[in-house]
């Protein structure tokens, strides 16, 4: 959905043409992936950082268009709501000190954006969900005036033909209805892109899926919505419910959710994932290019596969495959579950843990996934989102006899050496491994994620003399002051 489009209304002929083109893209992709030299190149890491804009009182600042125009940086893009932006980090080689390089890019981007936000006496903030959001911060007036967002809103509304219902349990359960998709704009992420060795794509994909709950729990930073204490990573249910265009019809079958954890362990290569996208999901925005992908392949060229890329961008799996035609063509794994914030150092450490665990377990993952049915991996994902570091999850071992729940933090603690080995395997320097994993070690020792800090800080601020909105406002001030230091959240004090 990051692609620029012009049309917002489509005919049935548009959809028919697009569907046909999608299948031609699949045929072309299968030929491209079969080339012996496809995707050759050293592993690299990139990321997308989504951010909030705040005014001087800690409330949303709807000035993303102005700030984007003034920064004039092609790496900066607009997000769904007018108070959000996304900065695309430049990919870096996985060998050496990649996570420190990403950290520095984030620091530089935040500094530049802050200099522009100063004119509004405002702030730029990385946080999963802003605690000071109010009901009036959603609705049609909150949406960025971009054709792609209007097209998305229109088609999802047509599919559902009713308001979007939000029902999330927690200490203060919340029940909302919204006529548009702007509640999704409350969710800001740190989305990691990893370009692996294509030969190892299948095992690595399953490994990424397996460890996602572990990383999600350690990265949690979204416990509050409209003053309600909900899940540690409330983005997960909020995103899913706010953009789910499926109708509910009694006890009949339902179309697969467009926001999902996946459909099973990968049995073959990456083509299986791309076929699922085309075969399981109707297109939402049927804009076709002039390219004939089959003709491009027959001429020895790498096709753009624009239709497949656009379709991929309208299916919001928490991990998803990306085909890129650059550099002779390659595949990436986009890891979408992590929230934005609290600091660039925290996010860099989350990325190191994610890639380190995935690479460290990839060689044994075939044995592990036979010991954990995929439905239980999905169960782990939602438990991690709900309870964060307090979650108990099912974890497989090669020599198990039956499944049992274990404390998630104990599993992560035991796997830190495996994460270090995985990072070493792709050439990450020892000082870099030590720096990033020490951030995770401190988080485990203090039992403090961004979500845990926010909940404890909120409890200190909210009492009989302070309203929930005022407590949220003071919470944001305290969070912003500490985030600006770039000290990891495990070292944060309470106000």
Instruction: For 222-291, give the DSSP string.
Output: B-EETTEE--TBTHHHHHHHHS--PPP-TTS--PPPSEES-SS---S-THHHHHHHHHH---SS----S-
- DSSP codes, 119-163: GGT-EEE--SS-TT--GGG-SGGGB---HHHHHHHHHHHHHH-SP
In the numeric block, which tokens belong to residue 135? Answer: 């009901």
Measured CA to CA, the distance from residue 424 to residue 268 in angstroms comes to 27
pLDDT at 59 over 70: yes
**pLDDT of amino acid 266:** 97
pLDDT at 173 over 80: yes
The answer for residues whose C-beta is within 8 angstroms of residue 123's C-beta and 6 or more apart is 53, 54, 56, 58, 114, 117, 480
**Range from 43-57, 73-87, 146-160, 332-346 carrying the lowest mean pLDDT:** 146-160
Q: For the structural domain made of 35-262+318-370+423-491, what CATH number should be given?
A: 3.30.590.50
In the numeric block, which tokens belong to residue 343? Answer: 């600091």
Mean pLDDT over each residue of the chain, to the nearest integer? 94
**Range from 129-138, 249-258, 314-323, 361-370 carrying the lowest mean pLDDT:** 249-258
**pLDDT of amino acid 250:** 57
Give phi and psi for 40, each to the nearest 5: -60, 135
**pLDDT of amino acid 4:** 55
User: pLDDT band for position 50 (50/70/90)?
Assistant: very high
User: pLDDT band for position 402 (50/70/90)?
Assistant: very high
3-state helix, strand, coil in the chain (%, to 5): 50, 15, 35
Maximum separation of any 2 CA atoms in the chain, in Å? 73
From first CA to last CA, the distance across the chain in angstroms is 39
In the numeric block, which tokens belong to residue 171? Answer: 């200490």
Tell me the average pLDDT across 181-196.
Answer: 95
User: pLDDT band for position 192 (50/70/90)?
Assistant: very high
User: pLDDT band for position 3 (50/70/90)?
Assistant: low
pLDDT at 243 over 90: no
pLDDT at 327 over 90: no
Neighbouring C-alpha atoms within 13 Å toward the C-beta of 201: 23
Give phi and psi for 92, each to the nearest 5: -125, 155
Task: Identify whether the C-beta of residue 80 lies closer than 8 Å to the C-beta of residue 188.
Answer: no
pLDDT at 160 over 70: no
Tell me the average pLDDT across 200-217.
Answer: 97
**pLDDT of amino acid 255:** 83
In the numeric block, which tokens belong to residue 196? Answer: 């692996």
Measured CA to CA, the distance from residue 78 to residue 122 in angstroms comes to 18
Among candidate residues 171, 173, 131, 139, the one with its CA nearest the CA of residue 341: 131
Whole-structure pTM value: 0.96
**pLDDT of amino acid 253:** 75
**Range from 17-21, 117-121, 247-251 carrying the lowest mean pLDDT:** 247-251
Tell me, letter by letter, the H, E, C secondary structure of 350-379.
Answer: HHHHHHHHHHHHHHHHHHHHHCCCHHHHHH
Among candidate residues 181, 263, 186, 262, the one with its CA nearest the CA of residue 223: 186
**pLDDT of amino acid 239:** 94
Q: Are strands 392-394 and 224-225 parallel, antiparallel or unpaired?
A: unpaired
Q: What is the pLDDT of residues 372-389, one digit of tens each?
A: 999 999 999 999 999 999
The answer for residues whose C-beta is within 8 angstroms of residue 167's C-beta and 6 or more apart is 173, 174, 175, 176, 241
Measured CA to CA, the distance from residue 448 to residue 205 in angstroms comes to 29
The answer for residues whose C-beta is within 8 angstroms of residue 388's C-beta and 6 or more apart is 217, 220, 232, 233, 449, 451, 452
Q: What is the dihedral of CA 139, 142, 148, 152, to 10 degrees?
A: -20
**pLDDT of amino acid 6:** 64
pLDDT at 294 over 50: yes
More confident of the two residues 99 and 401: 99
Tell me the average pLDDT across 121-130.
Answer: 98
Every domain of the chain and the residues it spans: 35-262+318-370+423-491
More confident of the two residues 74 and 7: 74
Tell me the average pLDDT across 11-16.
Answer: 94
Task: Identify whether the C-beta of residue 70 lies closer than 8 Å to the C-beta of residue 116.
Answer: yes
**pLDDT of amino acid 1:** 44
């Amino acid at each position: 959905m990051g692609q620029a489009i012009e049309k917002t209304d489509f005919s049935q002929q548009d959809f028919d043409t697009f569907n046909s083109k999608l299948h031609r893209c699949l045929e072309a992709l299968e030929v491209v992936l079969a080339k012996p030299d496809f995707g050759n190149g050293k592993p690299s890491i990139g990321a997308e950082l989504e951010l909030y804009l705040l005014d001087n009182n800690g409330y949303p600042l709807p000035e993303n268009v102005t700030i984007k125009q003034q920064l004039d940086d092609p790496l900066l893009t607009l997000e769904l709501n007018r108070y959000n932006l996304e900065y695309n980090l430049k990919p870096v080689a996985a060998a050496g000190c990649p996570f420190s390089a990403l950290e520095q890019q984030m620091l530089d981007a935040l500094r530049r954006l802050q200099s522009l936000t100063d004119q509004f006496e405002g702030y730029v903030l990385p946080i999963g969900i802003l605690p000071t959001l109010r009901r009036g911060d959603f609705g049609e007036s909150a949406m960025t005036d971009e054709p792609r967002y209007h097209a998305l809103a229109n088609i999802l509304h047509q599919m559902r033909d009713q308001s979007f219902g939000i029902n999330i349990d927690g200490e203060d359960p919340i029940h909302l209805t919204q006529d548009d998709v702007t509640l999704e704009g409350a969710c800001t992420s740190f989305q990691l892109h990893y370009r692996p060795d294509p030969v190892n794509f299948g095992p690595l994909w399953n490994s990424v899926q397996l460890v996602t709950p572990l990383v999600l729990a350690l990265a949690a930073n979204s416990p509050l919505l409209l003053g309600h204490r909900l899940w540690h990573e409330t983005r997960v249910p909020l995103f899913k419910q706010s953009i789910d265009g499926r109708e509910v019809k009694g006890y009949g079958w339902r179309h697969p959710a467009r926001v999902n954890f996946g459909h099973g362990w990968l049995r073959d290569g990456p083509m299986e994932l791309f076929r699922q996208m085309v075969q399981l999901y109707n297109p939402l925005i049927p804009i076709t290019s002039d390219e004939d992908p089959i003709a491009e392949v027959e001429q020895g060229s790498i096709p753009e596969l624009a239709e497949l890329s656009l379709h991929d961008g309208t299916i919001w799996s928490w991990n998803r495959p990306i085909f890129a035609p650059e550099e002779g063509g390659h595949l990436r794994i986009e890891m979408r579950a992590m929230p934005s914030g609290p600091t660039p150092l925290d996010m860099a450490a989350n990325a190191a843990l994610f890639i380190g665990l995935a690479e460290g377990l990839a060689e044994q993952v075939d044995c592990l996934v036979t010991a954990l049915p995929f439905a239980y991996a999905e169960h782990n994902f939602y438990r991690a989102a709900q309870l964060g570091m307090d979650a108990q999850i099912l974890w497989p071992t090669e020599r198990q006899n039956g499944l049992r729940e274990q404390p998630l933090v104990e599993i992560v603690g035991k796997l830190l050496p495996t994460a270090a080995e995985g990072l070493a395997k792709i050439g990450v320097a020892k000082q870099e491994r030590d720096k990033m994993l020490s951030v995770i070690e401190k988080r485990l020792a203090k039992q403090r994620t961004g979500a845990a800090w926010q909940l404890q800080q909120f409890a200190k601020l909210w009492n009989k003399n302070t309203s929930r909105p005022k407590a949220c406002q003071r919470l944001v001030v305290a969070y912003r002051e500490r985030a600006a230091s770039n000290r990891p959240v495990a070292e944060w004090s309470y106000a």
